[in-house]
Amino acid sequence: MDYKILLFDLNFDQAEQDAVIETLRSKWISTGPKNAELERRFAEMTGARHAVALTNCTVALHMALVLNDIRPGDEVICPSLTFVATVNAIRYVNAIPVFADVKSMEDLTIDPDDIEKKITPRTKAIMLMHYGGFACNMNRIMTLADKHNLLVIEDACHGPLSEYEGKKLGTIGSTGCFSFFSNKNISTGEGGMIITNDDNIYEKAKLLRSHGMTSLSFDRAKGHSTEYDVIELGYNYRMDDIRASIGIVQLDKLPGDLAIRAELRARYEKNLDRVEEIVIPFKGYKYFTSNYIFPIVLKNSTVERRNRVREHLAEAGIQTSVHYPAVHRFAIYREYASPLPNTEYAADNIVTLPMFSKLTHEQVDYICDTLKEAAAKK
C-alpha cells in the first residue's frame, strides 16, 4: 500500500552520503577510526565512562548478559511488552526469562511491584526496556536490585539521550544497550552500542566483540601491534567503519531531531487531549525523552476493534504499527508464560502513530482527525 504519511522516515541527507564516501576513500572500511570516534562521542553524549560499538542491539543485549556472568538456569526478569530480541538474548545464554507485567495503560514500562513478586532465589538480573524512550521507575528497580543483589541491564534501544532524574538512560544499571536499526532515533541500517561505567566490563566487551583477540586488525595495520593472542571465547560482533561514519553524522543531528519530536508529541497530546476513547501513555511526562514512538491505547476495546481502527487509518493513507505483540504469547515462549493482564490488553489495543522529525504539524493534525473518526466507530 502507498501511504501518504509513513510511520517513520530516515533523517538522512547529503551528510550521510559524504561520510560514507570519505570512509570508502580512506580504504579502511572495517572496525577502525570511525568506530573509535563514534564510541568516544557516544560515551560523552550519555555521560558513560565507556562505549563499545557493535553489530546491533541484539548482540549488545547478549553481550551484556555474558559480561554480567548470567549463566544457564539463572532467572532474568524482563518485560513481555518489548521486541522479542530482549528475551531472545536471555535464551542465548540458556537463562530463564521470567515475564513481569507493565504498570498500566498510562505507563507501559515494567511494573516494579510485579518484578518484586517474581524474584526467587534463582533470580540473577532484571533486564528492563525503557519503552518508547520513557524511563522505567529506576529508583524503585535499583532499590529492589540492591536488596536482592541483582544486576540491572538496561535495554535502552528506544532512548538515546532520554533521561531519568538527571541521568541518561543506559547509565543507571550495570550496562546499557542501544540500537541503531534503520527506524531508530540514530539510524545506521544495522548497528548498536553497549555502554558501562565498569572498567572490567569494558575491557572484556572489547575482547568478546572480536573473537576474544587481544588486538584488532586496525591496530596491527597501523603498527600498534604485530601479534595477537586469543584469551576469551569471543564473537564477531564488530561494527564496520562505513556504518560508524553514518552514526557520527546521526549523532550530530540527534539533538535537533529530538527537539522536533518533542514539539510533535506536544501537538499530538493537545489534539487528542479530550478523545474519550483513547489513553495517551506517558502523557505529561516530566523527563527529557527521545520520543521514539507515539503510541495510543484504545479504551474498552478488543484486538478486532483495534485492527479496524488501523484499517481506517490505512485507508486514509496513514501507516501505523503495533509496539509490540506480547512476547509471552509467541509459540517459542509460551512455556514461560504467566498472567500479564496489562501487557495483554496493551498488546491487543495499542496503535503506534507516525513519529519522525520530518513529520509536519499539518500531518499530525490530519492523523489526529482521522484517529478521532476511527475511534468513534463501534
DSSP for 102-131, please give it.
Answer: BS-SS--SB-HHHHHHH--TTEEEEEEE-G
Per run of 10 residues, the mean pLDDT along the chain (length 378 residues) is 94 98 95 96 98 98 98 98 98 98 98 98 98 98 98 98 98 98 97 98 96 76 74 95 98 98 98 97 97 98 98 98 98 97 98 98 98 92
Indicate the domain borders of the chain: 14-250, 255-376
d(CA 21, CA 24): 5
- To the query of whether residue 253 is one of the catalytic residues in this protein, the response is no
Per-residue pLDDT, 167: 98
Per-residue pLDDT, 377: 86
Domain spanning 255-376: CATH 3.90.1150.10:
yes
pTM beyond 0.85: the answer is: yes
With cell 506517558, the residue in question is: 282
d(CA 59, CA 53): 10
What is the residue-wise DSSP string for 44-111? HHHT-SEEEEES-HHHHHHHHHHHTT--TT-EEEEESSS-THHHHHHHHTT-EEEEE-BS-SS--SB-
Selection from 54, 85, 84 nearest residue 67 by Cα: 54
The helix-helix angle for 241-271 and 14-26 (nearest 10°) equals 170
Query: Which of 103, 184, 204, 253 is an active site residue?
Result: 184
d(CA 199, CA 259): 33
Question: Could you tell me the fold of the domain covering 14-250?
Answer: Aspartate Aminotransferase; domain 2 (3.40.640)
- CB-based contact 181:202 (threshold 8 Å): no
Backbone angles phi, psi at 357, to 5 degrees: -70, -20
